[in-house]
Amino acid sequence: MAEENTRTYQSSVILSAASPRAQPKDLVEGYKLSLARLARGLITCIVSTMARDHDCCVYLLTHHARTVLYIGVTSDLEGRLYEHITRVHPGGFTGRYQVDRLVCYEQFGDVLTAIEREKQLKGWTRAKKNALVARSNPLWADLSADWPALRGLRGP
């Protein structure tokens, strides 16, 4: 019985949380669940919604000298590259090392598969990552160099 109530509660919270008047504290007290459990349910809902509604990319970036590789995942590759190129996060890894050249990307139908692939690639050796890039982009050319929204944003 308690398990059934929990499922009902999580569904009602997900629907109620969209309302600006929703008070998670009130909803939690009614069913005596912790806020952590509430958050877990909402995060699961968000991830499963993203998995259905968005195509995702795992992408590899480098900088002009190709000595640094960055692997990321996004549902908006062009927008994310814009952030890397314009150094929206200058203190982050890509900002510190000026990583802004797209050398490889893979598309996935859902975010969970993309995240799984990102984690897999991050566990690879540098040699294996280099081989992945070399197979699809032997010259390590910037694949986004001719994208109209990004043209002219980079230096030489």
pLDDT digits (tens, 9 = 90+) for 23-33: 444 444 444 44
Q: How many CB atoms lie within 10 A of CB 91?
A: 7
How confident is the model at residue 76, as a pLDDT? 94
d(CA 90, CA 86): 9
Name which of 33, 153, 34, 54 is nearest 102 in CA terms. 153
- Per-residue pLDDT of 102-128, as tens digits, reads 999 999 999 999 999 999 999 999 999
- If pLDDT is split at 50, 70 and 90, which confidence band does 54 have? low
The residue-averaged pLDDT of 72-95 equals 93
d(CA 58, CA 70): 10
- If pLDDT is split at 50, 70 and 90, which confidence band does 149 have? confident
Adjacency order of strands within the sheet including 56-62? 69-74, 56-62, 101-108
**Residue 80 and residue 49 in contact, taking contact as beta carbons nearer than 8 Å:** no
- Cα–Cα distances in angstroms (integers) from residue 94 to residues 61, 85, 106, in the given order: 9, 9, 19
How confident is the model at residue 31, as a pLDDT? 44
**Residue 24 and residue 38 in contact, taking contact as beta carbons nearer than 8 Å:** yes
**Residue 25 and residue 66 in contact, taking contact as beta carbons nearer than 8 Å:** no
The yes-or-no verdict on residue 150 having pLDDT over 60 is yes
